[in-house]
Amino acid sequence: MTLTAMLAQAQGGRLFAQVAGAIGLDEATTRSAMMDICPAIISELKAAAEGDDSLLETLARHLAEGSEGSVLDDPGVLTGAESIKDGNAILAAIYGSKAGAMEDIKTLVGGVPAAKLSKLAAVSATAAVSALMQSHAITPLAGVQRAAGSGGGILSVFIDALIKGMVRAATSELNRQVRSVVKPRKAPAKRNAAAKRAPARKTPARKTAARKAPAKRSTQTGITIEDIFGSILGRK
């Protein structure tokens, strides 16, 4: 199921109305904004995972464990203080900072006061990550009842792992950039006079069929990027 379909169906179709009431917006504005913000957040997360193996491993490992519930279906929880705090942390991790996230989100959503948009962005981040978990949900064992509020606990564990994975990815990228700047350049190899005089031999060009690069895959679980994000983004 796609992310937008999951949002539309959450809480029996009342998710947008509930969020709108908590933030002080009308339902139509809230629906339109979340339908733009949530996919953008997941797309940013996908791009980050494509560029960092450790983040892909983090996502694959935790999603492979599954989830029994989602805050999307708990009225009031999604807009609670803890969920908003989690959402702000998700935005800062994925975009580099909350301010950076808001700069991007402002280009998607217009006409919403800054304070309300900031809160809506945090709610949308938690909703998007919760939906990602829900898209890989497991069915509880027969006779086992999920403890009240355990969905939020599972989500918090996943968010914590996600944020740590994003921080590691950002640190690795920074270190890579630093190494590329300070890495000494090798002096060009000297060519002898005979080599200089010898005319270059042209090798006939060979046409080869373009090969599509295989989907990036977790070495621990065998899960690919498309396994994680394909369905929720409507590309699988």
Every domain of the chain and the residues it spans: 3-139+151-183+215-229
Give the separation between CA 5 and CA 187, rounded to whole angstroms. 58
As a whole number of angstroms, the distance between CA 173 and CA 47 comes to 14
Instruction: Give the bridge partners for 224, in sequence order.
Output: 217
Q: Which amino acid is present at 65?
A: E
The DSSP secondary-structure symbol of 66 reads -
Q: What is the Cα–Cα distance from 22 to 135, expressed in whole angstroms?
A: 25
Query: Three-class SS of residue 68?
Result: coil
- pLDDT tens-place values along the chain, 236 residues long: 899 999 999 999 999 999 999 999 999 999 999 999 999 999 999 998 898 888 888 888 888 765 555 788 887 889 999 999 999 999 999 999 999 999 999 999 989 999 999 999 999 999 999 999 888 875 433 333 333 333 345 677 778 877 777 766 655 554 554 555 555 555 555 555 544 555 555 545 544 444 555 566 666 667 888 988 988 998 76
For the beta carbon of residue 189, count every other beta carbon within 10 angstroms: 5
Measured CA to CA, the distance from residue 187 to residue 177 in angstroms comes to: 21
Q: How far apart are CA 192 and CA 183, in angstroms?
A: 27
* 32 Cα distance to chain centroid: 20
pLDDT at 139: 42
pTM: 0.74
Non-local CB neighbours of 125 within 8 Å, separated by 6+ positions: 37, 41, 86, 87, 88, 90, 91, 94, 101
Check: CB of residue 120 under 8 Å from CB of residue 28: no
Q: How many residues does the chain have?
A: 236
Residues 124 and 41 sit within 8 Å (Cβ to Cβ): yes
pLDDT at 202: 52
